[in-house]
Structure 1
Amino acid sequence: MEQAERRAVRAQTDPERMIDASSQDVSTLLGRAATMLAVVRTAAETEAEMRDLYVELHAARRRNLARFVAGLAEIGGLREGLDRETATSHVWSLGSPDLFLLWTGPTGRRPRSLPRMACGRLEAPLRGHDTNFEWNQIVCQSAVVESHKRG
């Protein structure tokens, strides 16, 4: 069953507002779940059942984010030439629980400050507003790798 927050995101008719609403929703969700997912990830290194759970949790995250991308595409919110699968990969990576913990842990950022930052990061690949997208992607991927090394 789709929750009210996800319905509110999908009800947006303006791409920037949809991205902003989704960024706020994802930040709220990650504020509640990111630490738990890190625990599951750590347990997955030695326990097969936890590995299965970890894989399924990320698969479910990807399915949910694919719905967001589909809604964004329906209102003309994807930049020209960007297919839904690639857009979903960008959103899935930028909405990573590991990246969230990296942003809120060592940086000292408060979770409330993340929606605008995440929104800006999402607008780059989805809407084409940032000419430094490749650099941003490399930085985000590096942050996730560093987070896994520490985790």
Structure 2
Amino acid sequence: MAPDDLLPAPCLLCGAPRGSRGHDGWRCAACGWRVGDAPDPDLPPPRIDIVYYVRWRERIKIGTSHRPRQRLAAVRHEELLAFERGGRDLEQQRHREFADLRVGGEWFRADARLCAHILAVGEGAPPWESFARWVAEAYRDR
């Protein structure tokens, strides 16, 4: 079956409605979580540190968070461009890498080099799908 079939129910982990059926049952197309499995409610959710890239007009913010939904709700932006798995060290590395484009704080000019980097780290996947996949992998690795 195609990976865009409707799941019997939305994914318990990320809420995505689509997936595919394999030898071990249904799997979410967004995060890969197996339908029917449930995260252990007695364990805290895994911590996934990410570097985020958001756009506001002709500027791009490079920031980090382990709670991206809450963080992005507090950051004024027009578009979420990408997530990159990593924490403060990676964020600081990116700030150094694009220091010549800095316009203030964590904001950078949206030039071709930075935009190409964002496309490469995003790997063409929607940022929230990447995050959901990383969360699912962390749950499976426990």
Same fold (TM over 0.5): no
TM range (shorter): under 0.3
TM-score of the pair, normalised by structure 1:
0.25
Q: Which structure dedicates a bigger proportion of its chain to helix?
A: 1
Q: Highest relative contact order (Cα 8 Å, sep 6+), 1 or 2? A: 1
TM-score of the pair, normalised by structure 2:
0.26
